[in-house]
Chains A and B, each alone.
Chain A
Amino acid sequence: MALTQNQTRWALITPAGLWYAALLLLPLAVVLIFSFGERSTVGGYAPGFTLEQYANLPARFAAFRNTLTLAPLGTIASLLIAYPLAYFLAVKVSPRWKTMLLVLVIVPFWTSILIRSYAWIFLLGGRGIPALLDWLGIEGVRLINTPFAVLVGIVYGYLPLMVFPIYVALEKLDKRLLEASADLGTPPWRSFLQITLPLSMPGVLTGTMLVFILLMGEFLIPAILGGGKVFFVGNALVDLFLQSRNWAFGSAVAVALVVIMLIVVALYGRLAKRFAVNRDDMDLM
Chain B
Amino acid sequence: MTDNGNPISRKKFMEELRRFQNGSVSRRHFLGVTGLGTAMTVMSGAMPGLLGGRAQARDISDRVILATWPNYHDPENFEAFKDATGAFTQVNVFGSNEEMLAKLQAGGSGWDVFVPTNYTITTYVEAGLIEPLDLSKLPNYDPAAFEARFSDAGTVDGTVYAVPKNWGTTGIASNTDHTGGVVDSWKTFFDGARDQWSGRAMVHDYQLTTIGNALVYFGFSFNSVKPEELAKAEELLIDVKPHLFAISSDYQPAMRNGDAWLTMCWTGDGKQLNTDMPEIGFALGKEGGEIWSDYYAIPKDAPHREAAYALINYLLTPEVNAREALAHGYPVADSRTNALLPADLLNDPILYPAAESLSALEFGAAATLTDPNRAELMARFKSA
- In the complex, are there CB atoms of A and B closer than 8 Å? yes
Task: Report A's interface with B, CB cutoff 8 A.
Answer: 39, 41-44, 59-60, 62-63, 66, 125-127, 142, 144-145, 227-229, 231, 235-236, 239-246
Category for how many chain B residues contact A:
20 to 34
**Interface secondary structure of B, over-half rule:** helix
Residues of A within 8 A of B205 (CB): 228
Contacts of B379 in A (CB 8 A): 59-60, 236, 239-240, 243-244
Query: Can you list, as one digit per residue, whether each of B341-379 has a CB less than 8 Å from chain A (1) or not (0)?
Result: 000000000000000000000000000001010011011
Q: In the complex, what residues of A have CB within 8 A of residue B99's CB?
A: 242-243
A244 to B382, CA, bound (A): 12
**Could you tell me if B98 and A245 are in contact, using CB atoms closer than 8 angstroms?**
yes
Residue from B244, B254, B375, B383 with most neighbouring chain A CB atoms (10 Å):
B383
Q: Does B42 lie at the interface of the complex (its beta carbon under 8 Å from any beta carbon of A)?
A: no
Say whether B382 contacts A125, CB under 8 Å.
Answer: no
- Known pairs A42-B123, A66-B383; A145 contacts B245 (CB<8 A): yes
| Contact across chains for B96 and A127 when beta carbons are under 8 A apart | no
- Least CB distance, B260 to chain A, in whole angstroms: 9
Ordered by A's residue number, 23 sampled pairs between the chains whose C-beta atoms are within 8 Å are A39-B372, A41-B370, A42-B105, A42-B123, A43-B102, A44-B105, A60-B379, A63-B383, A125-B259, A126-B258, A127-B257, A228-B248, A228-B382, A229-B247, A231-B382, A235-B383, A242-B99, A242-B102, A243-B375, A243-B378, A244-B372, A245-B101, A246-B376
Which residues of chain B from 73 to 130 have any CB-CB distance to chain A below 8 Å in the complex? 96, 98-99, 101-103, 105, 123, 126-127
Let me know if B241 is at the binding interface, CB within 8 A: yes
What residue in chain B is nearest A233 (Cβ atoms)? B383
Q: Measured between C-beta atoms, what is the minimum distance from A253 to chain B in Å?
A: 11
Most B C-beta atoms less than 10 A away, residue of A43, A59, A126, A241: A43
Rounded to whole Å, the gap between the CB of A40 and the closest CB of chain B is 9
Asked if B47 is at the interface of the complex by the 8 Å CB criterion, the answer is no
With CB as the reference atom, state the residue of chain B lying closest to A130: B259
Given the interface pairs A42-B123, A145-B245, A229-B241, the reply to whether A246 lies near B372 with Cβ below 8 Å is: yes
**Of all chain B residues, which has the CB nearest A228?**
B247
* Cβ contacts under 8 Å, B126 to chain A: 42
Asked whether A227 and B123 contact (CB < 8 A) given A43-B101, A126-B258, A244-B378, the answer is: no
Min CB distance A124 to B, Å, is 10
Nearest A residue to B98, CB-CB: A243
Pairwise interchain contact B370-A43, C-beta atoms closer than 8 A: yes
B259's contact among A44, A126, A241, A245, by CB below 8 Å, is which?
A126
Asked if B199 is an interface residue, CB under 8 A from chain A, the answer is yes
Min Cβ gap A53→B in Å is: 13
Which residues in B have their C-beta under 8 angstroms from that of A144?
Answer: 259
In the complex the two chains form, is A243's CB within 8 Å of B241's CB? no
For the complex, is B246 an interface residue (Cβ under 8 Å from A)? yes
CA distance A231 to B127 in the complex (A): 30
Task: Taking A228-B246, A245-B105 as given, write out 13 further A-B residue pairs in contact, using a Cβ cutoff of 8 Å, ordered by the A residue number.
Answer: A41-B370, A42-B123, A42-B370, A59-B376, A59-B380, A63-B383, A145-B245, A227-B246, A229-B241, A231-B382, A240-B379, A245-B102, A246-B375
